[in-house]
Structure 1
Amino acid sequence: MSSSAAPEGALKPSLGMLDVVAITVSAVTPASSVFVIAPFAIQQAGSGAFLSFVLAAVLALMFAWCYAELGRAHSSAGGEYVYAKRVFGGMAGYATFLTVMVSLLFIPPVLATGAATYLNGALGTQFDTQTVALVIVAASYALGILNIRVNAWVTGLFLVCEVAALLVIVALGFGNVSQPLSVLSHPQFLDNGVMSVAPMALVIGAMGTALFSYNGFGAAVMLTEDMKDGGRGVHRAVLWSLVLVVIIELVPITALLLGAPSLQDMLASPDPIGYLLTTHGNATLSRLVSAGIFLSVFNAIIAIVIQSGRVIFSSGRDELWTPSLNRLFTRIHPRWESPWLATLFLAVPSAALSFSSNLADLTSFTVLLLVMVYLAVALSALFSRVLRRDREHPYRMPLWPAPALLAVVGAGYLLLNNMLAASLRDNMIIGGILAVSVILYSTYGKFSPAFQKL
């Protein structure tokens, strides 16, 4: 092993704060959020989607403060499960870990399937969606095991392409403003073909969709051990990631609503962004934008694979598995300086999910898992200072405990609504995850010196 390589069981600190922000924002996929998720919010609340995204940004800030404080106080590549374990004990740690791991398993194939559609749109081809998704997932895992510095450059480059695609919408919208500013502050929606004032109930109802579009900013904490400053700047990385994501998403959505030649026609269209591109652009421009979206989704999957590798690596170091698996997951590649076996752990099952015929169901289930993780983080931030007085909190969120309380209420409300809307199968799977966490903790966690000392 070279002198510059990371020692056994340790990551090599090589990232600056900007590198962490680039990888984190890439994982959020702002372009995909605008092109894929925002139209759902527009269908729900009309031009009130603007207020939905603004209110969701406020709620996301509450979660960001939770992540920021926990990321400094409980610095670890394991992220959320480490916080839950240290604050509430081993059982909570295992339950949170399995929830995070399953969500990281499902997200790549879901995103890859959406990316296949845009690849065909960019190239004018008709490649099989499932085959393209499989290739994308496999390629993402192959890139994910490379040196983290290389991946920081790759994700940063793709992020530039992603922002370029969004700038097209910004230029077309603000360059052809056709609607008054009042459509943002006094929202309208299409009610049975008639334009009407959108009630706040619709605006609030679309907040969940908007919050999902911002999801991923907290993942910066998973790269804390890769930071050259020892993670001292991770709270800034979390907050800057959220700020950039909100700006990158909210500006194009504002341009989209103001630039619509006819607000009624846009709201009636199943593809409001396509409506804007068709009205003010041309076929070539549409293809270029589709290429940008494809790159953004591919970029996101690479970033998510990197993050999942850090979580699995941390679980092996904390001895959550059998001794042989723990040794494999903590193995650092001598050349790439990455936890390559931990990164590849989910590759095969994640790629296999590309052939699922119910990706819409997988998407809704993934949202349910993400909200559960948010609730765990919010509760950990609410009680960390009280239950873990032995740990320093170098960064303290402003106005504590108000932001943490708001985060708990918001996550609890979204979780309740999602569970009521979820299928019996999805709720049974959630119960199964909790049951498995009990089994694993009872068989391994209780007897793991590393996990108990965590």
Structure 2
Amino acid sequence: MGDAGASEGVEYDRVDDSYLDERKLERSAGALLLWGLGVGYVIAGDFFGWNYGINAGGFGGLVIATLLMATLYLAMIFSIAEMATMMPVAGGPYAFARRAMGPWGGFLTGLAVTIEYVVAPAVIATGIAGYIAGMFAAPPAWIETWVPIALYALFIAINAMGSKTSLALLLVITAASVLALLAWAAAMLPHVDPSRWLDIEPDPGRSRWLPHGWAGVVAALPAAGWFYLAIEGVPLAAEETRDPSRVLPRGMIAAMLSLVGLSALTLLLAPAVTGSAALATAANPLPAAAEVASGGRGWVYWLTTIVGLVGMIASFFSIIFAYSRQIFALSRAGYLPRWLSKTNRHGAPHRALIVPGVLGYVTILVVERLNDGAVATGDLLMQMAVFAALISYVMMMASHFVLRRRHPELARPYRTPGAPLTPAIALVLSLLALSSTLFYGEAALLSVLGVLAVYALGLAYFGVYSRHHLVASAPEEEAALIERAERELDA
């Protein structure tokens, strides 16, 4: 064990030449596949989850919250695109923060992203189970248990076949989901009645536009963020991308702009057909709107239900891809147990696919068991995923400022438009959204405390063990060590 990182409070183990050979990814993605990955990460947010924000803030509160979160994500994506072209490695968010703020900053960010991406598929699994249950007049009990198990088993297996196969299949699923969402929107237009937006009875002294006041706007931020959550994970595919300095920004920004348009359609049309009050706690909001529009379960209802499932499957599928790449990068560099980063003959990190999948399912079981029923289990899981995500957003935007100030010489094939205002907007809105749990209720607060407890355990592992056993030859570490050596030579 060497002391090359002693000045940063870390130490490095020597590894042999075969270490990285056993940890190689398959380079196959272009801009179109990255667009499919980015939209696929998020499109489940159009089919369910966002409507919980109506429960928190009413229609007006959710509209304002969505405008704020769309601004946050747009500003953040433009900022991340610059850092992704500077450091096109699988670590993504962790790599940005590692270069800007050292090993502790990198681990703080990577751990937050890991928690987000382990919990987010659990949220989607409960949403898919809700859609399937909605097909039955009396849903059978097996749906709640076996649907998530089947989903994890199937899509971990597909991801284990390598990025070329999984991203191509994901593109097809994502494209089908987008087309179905547009078909649903066209079918809803003749049935729109804007008066239904404001059918929630306001609290005393409040308006129908903001039935729970401005506190409801803040409380609705996590549900509004669900429209866009995980788009920031596109850079995790950097080592599987051809010509990342050109392709990453194109795919990422195109995906984000597509998602803004789709979220506007969903948010404005569904409550105008069904009514905000009826939609606030619906497990399947788009089919619920289709059922009202057609006066029963006609072809639009079944199309929306079936393709809604496809859309949620796309997000479930793609976030499994994302968590495996984040965990692969952290474990390859020694921050997490190294055995997680080994790849199979298809160039897929199979262990980093399986272990988090098991943890995600266990999270569903634990939250379901502890839930008192005041808030839906899927809603509580969403609160957890969004809270962890927001921690990583704060860290990434801080990293953008640090990298611009400390490393102006680094090549930036893409530069953030409007910087430094652009990352500043994303940073401020992320900090605002972090406070949303305080306005949502006791159940959500307990869920977030659970996230913080896991976070504390992860930091303890790093502080006590893994910071003494990092891998200098991992791409994220090697770049930082070379840069420090050059500074010392100059000095």
Q: Normalised by the size of structure 2, how large is the TM-score? A: 0.79
Once the 2 structures are TM-superposed, how far is the Cα of residue 164 of structure 1 from its aligned partner? 4.2
Aligned counterpart in structure 2 of residue 383 of structure 1, from 402, 405, 410 = 402
Distance in 2 of aligned mates of 1:425 and 1:217: 24
Once the 2 structures are TM-superposed, how far is the Cα of residue 145 of structure 1 from its aligned partner? 0.8
Once the 2 structures are TM-superposed, how far is the Cα of residue 179 of structure 1 from its aligned partner? 2.8
Distance in 2 of aligned mates of 1:256 and 1:352: 33
Structure 1 residues 267, 37: CA separation in 2 closer, same or farther (over 3 Å shift)? closer
When structure 1 is superposed on structure 2, of 306-315 and 42-51 the one drifting more is 42-51
Number of the residue aligned with 1:3? none
Quick check: 1:46–1:267 contact (8 Å CA) kept in 2?
Answer: no
Once the 2 structures are TM-superposed, how far is the Cα of residue 116 of structure 1 from its aligned partner? 1.3
Number of the residue aligned with 2:426? 407
Once the 2 structures are TM-superposed, how far is the Cα of residue 232 of structure 1 from its aligned partner? 2.7
Structure 1 residues 237, 439: CA separation in 2 closer, same or farther (over 3 Å shift)? farther
Number of the residue aligned with 2:49? 37
Number of the residue aligned with 1:397? 416
Deviation per residue, 1:91-110 (Å, 9 max, x gap)? 11122222222322222223
1:169-248 pair list within 5 angstroms: 169-179=184-194, 190-191=201-202, 196-198=208-210, 201=214, 202-203=216-217, 205-248=219-262
Instruction: Tell me the SS of whatever aligns to 2:51.
Output: helix
Once the 2 structures are TM-superposed, how far is the Cα of residue 452 of structure 1 from its aligned partner? 4.0
Matched-pair identity in %? 20
1:252 aligns to 2:252 (yes or no):
no
Distance in 2 of aligned mates of 1:205 and 1:417: 5
Quick check: 2:51–2:280 contact (8 Å CA) kept in 1?
Answer: no
| Structure 2 residues without counterparts, runs of 5 or longer | 1-19, 371-376, 480-491
Q: Normalised by the size of structure 1, how large is the TM-score? A: 0.85
Distance in 1 of aligned mates of 2:168 and 2:347: 16
Distance in 2 of aligned mates of 1:252 and 1:425: 31
Quick check: 2:336–2:466 contact (8 Å CA) kept in 1?
Answer: no
Number of the residue aligned with 2:10? none
Number of the residue aligned with 2:445? 422
Aligned counterpart in structure 2 of residue 46 of structure 1, from 32, 44, 58 = 58
Distance in 2 of aligned mates of 1:242 and 1:299: 16
1:278 aligns to 2:269 (yes or no):
no
1:14 aligns to 2:31 (yes or no):
no
Distance in 2 of aligned mates of 1:320 and 1:66: 25
Structure 1 residues 59, 258: CA separation in 2 closer, same or farther (over 3 Å shift)? same
1:337 aligns to 2:347 (yes or no):
yes
Quick check: 2:131–2:309 contact (8 Å CA) kept in 1?
Answer: yes
Number of the residue aligned with 2:112? 99
When structure 1 is superposed on structure 2, of 372-381 and 32-41 the one drifting more is 32-41
Structure 1 residues 196, 118: CA separation in 2 closer, same or farther (over 3 Å shift)? closer
Quick check: 1:329–1:341 contact (8 Å CA) kept in 2?
Answer: yes
Instruction: Tell me the SS of whatever aligns to 1:12.
Output: coil
Once the 2 structures are TM-superposed, how far is the Cα of residue 78 of structure 1 from its aligned partner? 0.8
Quick check: 1:113–1:130 contact (8 Å CA) kept in 2?
Answer: no
- Aligned-residue CA RMSD in angstroms? 3.1
Number of the residue aligned with 2:307? 292
Once the 2 structures are TM-superposed, how far is the Cα of residue 170 of structure 1 from its aligned partner? 1.0
Structure 1 residues 231, 345: CA separation in 2 closer, same or farther (over 3 Å shift)? farther
Quick check: 2:221–2:436 contact (8 Å CA) kept in 1?
Answer: no
Structure 1 residues 265, 310: CA separation in 2 closer, same or farther (over 3 Å shift)? closer
Q: Count matched residues.
A: 435
Structure 1 residues 142, 192: CA separation in 2 closer, same or farther (over 3 Å shift)? same
Counterpart residue identity of residue 443, structure 1: H
Once the 2 structures are TM-superposed, how far is the Cα of residue 380 of structure 1 from its aligned partner? 0.9
Distance in 2 of aligned mates of 1:365 and 1:83: 23
When structure 1 is superposed on structure 2, of 271-280 and 231-240 the one drifting more is 271-280
| Structure 1 residues without counterparts, runs of 5 or longer | 1-5
Once the 2 structures are TM-superposed, how far is the Cα of residue 132 of structure 1 from its aligned partner? 1.5
Distance in 1 of aligned mates of 2:109 and 2:327: 13
Once the 2 structures are TM-superposed, how far is the Cα of residue 318 of structure 1 from its aligned partner? 2.5
1:435 aligns to 2:460 (yes or no):
yes
